[in-house]
Amino acid sequence: MRTIEVTICSFVRPTERVEKVVSAIENIFPGLIMDIRADRIEAYNGPDSLKTLHELLRRQEILDTARKVMLRTLVGNTTAFLLSKQAALGSLHVQISGGERVINWLAPETVNGVPVREIDLCELGEAVQDGADV
C-alpha cells in the first residue's frame, strides 16, 4: 500500500526565532509532528496536514503555477519544492509523496482558472491505497 507523506524541513537562521519558524510552518501545514532544534526544524505527517495548503492554493488563485512546479519536480512518487516562510524568513523545503494523484488533488488542471475536476481527500486516499490513477 502506497501512502501520502508530507515532510517539511527548515533551517533556523541566527536572525530568526525558532517560535516564528514553527508558527510559519503550522500556518501552512497544521498538525505536523515536529523535531525542533535551535538551528533546524524537521516535520512530517500524512495527507491531513495538506488541507490548509489545498485551500490556500485556491484562495490565492495559483493552482496553475503550483501544478507546474509540482509536476516539474515530480521524481518517482515524490514532488519537492520550496515555499517562502514569510518575507523576512527563509524557505520551507517541502516534500510530498503520493505521486501525481496528490498533485491532482492539491492543484488540479484548470480551465480559465477553474478546476476541471475536484477530488475529495477521502477519494484520494482510497486511490493511493488501491494504486489507481485519479
Residues 113-122 have pLDDT tens digits of 888 888 887 7
Q: Which amino acid belongs to residue 43?
A: A
pLDDT tens, 40-90? 999 999 999 999 999 999 999 999 999 999 999 999 999 999 998 776 678
Q: What is the pTM of this model?
A: 0.86
| Other CB atoms within 10 A of residue 133 CB | 9
Closest listed residue to residue 66, CA positions, set 133, 113, 25: 113
Look over the chain and give the mean of its residue pLDDT values, rounded to a whole number.
88
What is the SS3 assignment for 9? strand
In angstroms, the first-to-last Cα distance of the chain is 16
pLDDT-above-90 percentage for the chain: 70
- φ/ψ of 2, rounded to 5, equals -85, 145
Euclidean distance between CA atoms 4 and 101, whole angstroms: 10
